[in-house]
Structure 1
Amino acid sequence: MILTVTPNPSLDRTYEVPSLDRGEVVRATGERVDPGGKGVNVSRAVTAAGRRTVAVLPLGGAPGALVAELLDAQGIEVAPVPIAGATRSNIALAEADGVLTKINAPGPHLTAAEQELLLETVRHQSRDADWIACCGSLPRGLAPSWYAELVARAHATGVRIALDTSGPALLAALRERPDVVKPNAAELAGAVGRPLSTVGDAVKAAEELRAMGAAAVLASLGADGQLLVNEDGAWFGTARVDTVRSNVGAGDSSLAGFLVAGGRGPEALGSAVAHGAAAVQLPGSLMPAPGDLDPAAVTVTADVPLDRVLKEPVS
């Protein structure tokens, strides 16, 4: 079972539009309403893969009730933490050429009692978990050290932790040695404080995160592929993608693919790449099912192309 923790979930509305014209009326050609948040997306992808998951998330107000209803309809077990504030609502505008514009609300403020209840709910639900995936930004009220506390408590009970966050929350959690961290290229560059121009730059940055405490680093490099660095070495994975429709949740789908494949080594990286590639070819934040995957389109190699210039360098 994979337990997911989403401290700042959302209700996500995605509109497909031909293009964006500022100041004009834009008519959508498609619309989706989904439960959102990085950990929620991981749970949705794990469920689509046919594995059991439990989603721990603070929920409040009408948006929170709808998030729980939508997850239940998808067959996802929810361990809700009641809060006084309302769950945030986000909007994504997906243009026909693949460009995505997102408007993310800040989310509610969690009280000290709500924060502790969230940690206690994770402890209670983790007894049957193979992995805990802690994902996303922290809502108002939670200090950057909150994820570090969660990792420490989980490790005390022998549960493996995958962490997908950024900034001070990521750096604070590294001291508690999460089993895998999953930054994208921008988050990886932010963690080491310098630009990334090549795959080799990304490998060096991932090694620095390992030196700071991460047991393994699974880095999403956008259109350039994905990178896995652990104590055994480094691997680089790519996949053929025919049409990009939306990258909403693609990184979360990759993390789910990595965890359902065991969360270790090149085979798990191949699963992560296959899931991420499938996700970007689906509309909105739809998560790929096994039939959407194309393992034959995936290449994983230990011969990492260190000198390859990134198509999307991070300055």
Structure 2
Amino acid sequence: MILTLTLNPSLDRTIEIPALVRGEMVRAAATRLDPGGKGVNVARALAAHKLPTCAVIPRGGPEGRQLTELLEEEGIDVCAVPVTGHTRSNVSLVEPDGSVTKINEPGSVLAPDDLERIVKAVLDTSATADWVVASGSLPPGVPDTFYCELGNRLTERGVRFAVDTSGPALTAALGARPALVKPNRDELAEFAGRPMDTLDDVVAAATTMCETGAERVLASLGADGAVLVGGGMGVRYGESPVDRGRSAVGAGDAMLAGYLAGGVTGGDALVEALSWGAAAVRLPGSRMPGPGDVDRASVRSHASVDLTRALDGPRHGMEQTQ
């Protein structure tokens, strides 16, 4: 079982529009409402493939109840921890060319008592977990060291810990020596303090993360694919081209879910990661791919890496942060 923690979940409304015209009324072509948040999306992708998962989320207000109901409708085991605030809502405006304008609420402050209950829920539920995945931004009031402190407690119990976050929270989380870290191109650049213009830049930054504490780093590079560094396997690079993408929202989360699924089921984890991420890009909104959406044959995995290769694709060609 793979346990996910999303401290800042959301209700994600995706609105497809012909064009975004500032200051004008725009008629929607289609709309959908999905459960949101990076860890939530990881759980949704795993559940779509009938893999056992449990999503730990704070639940606040009527929005939190609706989020829980949507997750349960997708067959996900939900551990909802009541909190004093409310669950945020996000809006994505999607244009026909795949451009996404995303408006994210910051989320409510989590009080110390709320955090204590959430940590207890994670530790209690992790007794039967193969992985615990902490994903997404930290809501207001949560210290940057939260993921690190949680990771230390999990690794003490022998539970593999993966983290997907950004900024100071990502840097601090490396102190817990996580089994897996999944940054995107912008998060790597922020960590390294320099742009990621080539594969060499990416490998150097990921290697520094490994030297700082991560066992493995899965760096998602949008349309340029992904790089896997560490774990005694050196450097691996792969890509899965998408001719026509519909939405990059949640694609990085699907990639992380695919990597974990590959490791659990004995498949090629990098191939699973890339094929799941590409499948998510082809789907509307933040819908997560099921088995029928995944095309493993389209993945190109390279035994040798041309480190001089420039990164040409859009920075968020295969994901949007949440």
What interval of TM-score do these two structures reach, taking the shorter chain for normalisation? over 0.9
Deviation at 1:46, TM superposition (A): 0.3
Structure 2 residue aligned with 1:120: 120
Partner of 2:282: 281
What is the match of residue 262 of structure 1? 263
Aligned: 1:301 with 2:317:
no
Specify the SS of the correspondent of 2:208.
helix
Normalised to the residue count of structure 1, the TM-score between the two structures is 0.97
Q: Which amino acid aligns with 2:275?
A: A
Closer, same or farther in 2 for the Cα pair 1:313/1:75, shift >3 Å? closer
Matches of 1:207 and 1:221 in 2, distance apart? 16
Equivalent in the alignment of 1:163: 163
AA at the equivalent of 2:289: P
> 1:85 offset after TM fit, Å?
0.6
| Residue equivalent to 2:234 | 233
In 1, distance between residues paired with 2:193 and 2:266? 27
Tell me, yes or no, if the aligned pair for 1:196 and 1:313 is still in contact at 8 Å: no
Structure-2 residue corresponding to 1:81 = 81
Contact 1:108-1:140 within 8 A present in 2 as well? yes
Report how far residue 205 of structure 1 moved.
0.7
Would the aligned equivalents of 1:148 and 1:173 in 2 still touch at CA under 8 Å? yes
8 Å contact kept, 1:218–1:227? yes
- Mapped to 2, the partners of 1:151 and 1:259 lie a distance apart of 17
Paired residue secondary structure (1:96): coil
Checking the alignment, whether the CA contact within 8 Å between 1:18 and 1:29 is kept in structure 2 is yes
Percent identity reads: 53
Q: Secondary structure at the match of 2:311?
A: strand
Deviations 1:68-100 (A, max 9, x none): 010011110100110011100110111100011
CA distance in 1, matches of 2:280, 2:23: 31
Q: Secondary structure at the match of 2:7?
A: coil
Is the 8 Å Cα contact of residues 223 and 314 (structure 2) preserved in structure 1?
Answer: no
Matches within 5 A, 1:94-173: 94-173=94-173
How big is the shift at 1:242? Answer: 2.2
Partner residue in 1 for 2:214 = 214
Bigger shift: 30-39 or 237-246?
Answer: 237-246
- 2:318 aligns with none
Tell me the amino acid that sits aligned with residue 160 of structure 2: R
Q: CA deviation at 1:266?
A: 8.8
Q: Provide Cα deviations, 1:235-267, integer angstroms capped at 9, x if missing partner.
A: 001113121000010000000000011179991
State the SS of the aligned residue for 2:92. strand
CA distance in 1, matches of 2:310, 2:279: 24
Query: For 2:268, what is the secondary structure of its paired residue?
Result: helix
- Aligned partner of 2:51 in structure 1 is 51
Code of the aligned partner of 2:294: L
After superposition, residues 235-254 of structure 1 pair within 5 angstroms as 235-254=236-255
Contact map agreement 2:245 2:282 (CA 8 A) in 1:
yes
**Residues 212 and 265 (structure 1), Cα distance of their counterparts in 2 relative to 1, 3 Å cut:** farther
Give the AA of the match of 2:307.
L
Shift of 1:141: 1.6
Aligned to 2:312: 311
Partners of 2:163 and 2:34 lie apart in 1 by 22
Instruction: Assess if the C-alpha contact under 8 Å between 2:10 and 2:87 holds in 1.
Output: yes
Distance in structure 1 (CA, Å) of the matches to 2:267 and 2:227: 10
Contact kept in structure 1, 2:223 and 2:241, CA below 8 Å:
no
Return the letter of the residue paired with 1:247.
A
Asked if 2 retains the 8 angstrom alpha-carbon contact of 1:206 and 1:229, the reply is yes
User: What letter corresponds to residue 70 of structure 1 in structure 2?
Assistant: L
- Where does structure 1 differ by over 4 angstroms across 4 or more consecutive aligned residues? 263-266
Q: Secondary structure at the match of 2:200?
A: helix
Q: Across the two proteins, how many residue pairs are aligned to each other?
A: 314
**For residue 237 of structure 2, what is the amino acid of its counterpart?**
F
In structure 2, relative to structure 1, the CA distance for the partners of 1:69 and 1:137 (3 Å cut) is same
Query: Which residue of the partner structure matches residue 292 of structure 1?
Result: 293
Deviation at 1:302, TM superposition (A): 2.6
Q: Supply the distance in 2 between the matched residues of 1:175 and 1:255 (Cα, whole angstroms).
A: 21
Counterpart of 1:70 in structure 2 is 70
* Letter of the structure 1 residue corresponding to residue 139 of structure 2: P
Q: Counterpart of 2:193?
A: 193
CA RMSD of aligned residues (A): 1.4
